Amino acid sequence: MADKESSTERQRFREFIPDQALEHARTACVEMCRSLEGLLPPEFAAHQRAARKEMLLAVRSVIDASLERIETEQAAE
């Protein structure tokens, strides 16, 4: 429900913000991220990717365990 409300708020305020300002903000955000990447060593990016992969594998494991439990419960019925 919160996503729907925040989306409605964004749409309401969007009519007051010119498209050029929104595009400028998006471009500034992208450029800021690029400049921060330039400050960090390449090893950081590699470590970040590996950590992200491990988190995704952990989520997959939780989902797999949940699916297995559901299948076990259905088989017992």
- Per domain, the residue ranges of the chain are 1-39, 41-77
Tokens 């749409």 correspond to what residue?
11
Quote the pLDDT of residue 38: 84
Q: What is the per-residue burial (b if ≥16 Cβ within 10 Å, else e) of 31-44?
A: eeeeeeeeeeeeee
pTM for the whole thing? 0.53
pLDDT tens, residue order, the chain (77 aa): 455 666 777 677 777 888 888 899 999 999 998 888 888 898 998 999 999 999 999 999 999 999 999 999 999 98
